[in-house]
């Protein structure tokens, strides 16, 4: 098991996710942990792919497609992304 990330690192990941997501936020809703990709942000499968690619670039990670079906909200994505960053760069 890897160590818990420092608050600093997880703040960075959260900030990066929100920063990238903001560029895809066409509906203009507030981005909170409970914001849902499909219902609130109107993401379709194509947009999801583009957004994930941008997030991968921003954080220099690979997000396996397998994790996507379980992610409905921004908060869930932040948690999943933190874990990937930990695994790939920790």
Partner 1 sequence: MADLFDRFESLLARRDSLVGDGGHDPFQVEMDEVLSQTEAMIGNRRTILAGTNNYLGLTFAPESLQAAHDALEAAGTGTTGSRVANGTYSGHKALEQALCSFLGKDHAIVFSTGYLANLSVLSTLVGPDDYILMDADCHASIYDGVRMGDAQIIRFKHNDAADLDKRLARLAKKPGNKLIVIEGIYSMLGDKAPLDDIVAVKKKYDDVYLLSDEAHSLGVLGRYGRGLPEEADLEDDVDFIVGTFSKSVGTVGGFCVSSHPQFDLLRLACRPYIFTASLPPSVVASAKASLELVEKGGALRKRLMRNAERLHSGLSALGFTLGGEISPVVAVVAPEVEIGVAFWRGLIDGGVYVNLALPPATPQNFTLLRCSLCAAHTTEQVDRIIEVFADVADSLVMLPKQPKKKVALG
Q: Please give the residue ranges that form the binding site for partner 1 (CB under 8 A).
A: 44-46, 49, 53, 60-66, 88
**What is the nearest approach in angstroms of partner 1 to the Cβ of residue 12?**
18
- SS3 state of residue 45: helix
Of 1 and 46, the one with the shorter C-beta distance to partner 1 is: 46
Total residue length of the chain: 90
Of 29 and 49, the one with the shorter C-beta distance to partner 1 is: 49
**What is the nearest approach in angstroms of partner 1 to the Cβ of residue 32?**
26
Of 10 and 42, the one with the shorter C-beta distance to partner 1 is: 42
**What is the nearest approach in angstroms of partner 1 to the Cβ of residue 67?**
9
**Distance between first and last Cα of the chain:** 11
* Residue 90 contacts residue 61 (beta carbons within 8 Å): no
- Apex CA 7: angle with CA 31 and CA 34, to 5°? 25
């Amino acid at each position: 098991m890897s160590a818990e990330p420092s608050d600093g690192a997880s703040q960075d990941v959260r900030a990066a996710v929100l920063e990238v997501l903001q560029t895809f936020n066409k509906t203009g809703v507030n981005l909170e942990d409970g914001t849902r990709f499909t219902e609130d942000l109107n993401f379709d499968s194509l947009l999801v792919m583009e957004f994930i690619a941008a997030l991968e670039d921003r954080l220099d990670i690979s997000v396996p497609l397998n994790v996507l079906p379980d992610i409905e909200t921004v908060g869930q994505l932040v948690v999943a992304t933190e874990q990937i960053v930990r695994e790939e760069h920790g």
